[in-house]
Amino acid sequence: AQKITQTQPGMFVQEKEAVTLDCTYDTSDPSYGLFWYKQPSSGEMIFLIYQGSYDQQNATEGRYSLNFQKARKSANLVISASQLGDSAMYFCAMRDGQGAQKLVFGQGTRLTINP
Amino acid sequence: EAGVAQSPRYKIIEKRQSVAFWCNPISGHATLYWYQQILGQGPKLLIQFQNNGVVDDSQLPKDRFSAERLKGVDSTLKIQPAKLEDSAVYLCASSFRKAPGELFFGEGSRLTVL
C-alpha cells in the first residue's frame, strides 16, 4: 500500500525567505506521480506542481520547485521568496500505477509566513 | 472555464439525520472523486467515478454513505444516518482522463453533526 508522510505539522517563516516542506513516500510501483497542493483557509485545494517518477529533471513552476530524491523516496517542496499569501496548508500526494488517477494525501503542513 | 461547483457550502445536522451534497465537475472531465477531509488531516478518497461507473469505493462506509453520478456529469453524495464522526469537509474533484492525474477541486461542503 502506498503511503505519504509529512513530518512537519507547522512551519513558521519570515517573509521573503525560502522554505522547504518535507514529504516522503513509499511505493513498490516503479511508475508513480507526486503532487503538491495548497489549501488556503477558503478550503479549495489548489494544484501547485507535479513530478513523475521517470522525469529526469526536478519540476519547477514559478516560485515552486520540487526537490525530488528518488533513492531517498522524498519529494520536498521548495518555495522561494515567500509571500504573506503563501500562508496555508500544504499537502503532498501520490498517484501510483500507470493510468491510475487516485491520489493519496499526506497529513499536511501548515505554513505561516510572518511579515 | 468554470471550476468544480459544490453545494451546500455549509450544513449542520443532528446525528441520525440525513444529508446530501451535490457536485458539478468541470465540463468534459470524465473522472469525478469525493474526498472526506476531517479537521487536521489530509483528504481521504471515498469514491471515484469514471463517467457514470464506480472505479473505487473501497473506503466508502456503505452502510451509511451512498453516491451516484447519473448521466456521467454531476454527482450526489448522501449520508444516512449521520454520525458525529462524519463531521468533515467533503471535497469533490474532477480530472480529465488523459492528464497526468492533476485533480481540480471544488471549495468543499463543510458538515457539522451535532
Give residue B44's Cα distance to chain centre.
10
The answer to whether the beta carbons of residues A92 and A4 sit under 8 Å apart is yes
A81/chain B closest Cα distance in angstroms: 25
Checking if the pLDDT of A97 tops 90, the result is no
Contact B48 A102 (CB under 8 A): yes
Which one is predicted more confidently, B70 or B107? B107
Query: CA torsion angle for A97, A99, A101, A107 (degrees, to 10)?
Result: 20
Residue of B36, B76, B41 whose CA lies nearest to B60: B36
| Number of residues in chain B | 114
Question: CA B22, B25, B28, B33 torsion: positive or negative?
Answer: negative
Contact B41 A108 (CB under 8 A): yes
Contact B33 A43 (CB under 8 A): no
Checking if the pLDDT of A95 tops 60, the result is yes
C-alpha cell, A54 = 521517470
Phi, psi of B84 (to 5 degrees): -55, -40
CB-nearest to B42 from A42, A101, A105 is: A105
What pLDDT, in 10s, does the model give residues B58-104? 899 999 999 999 888 999 999 999 999 999 999 999 988 655 568 89
The answer to whether the beta carbons of residues B24 and B73 sit under 8 Å apart is yes
Determine the pLDDT at residue B101: 66
Checking if the pLDDT of A2 tops 90, the result is no
Query: A100 to chain B: which residues are within 8 Å by CB?
Result: 101
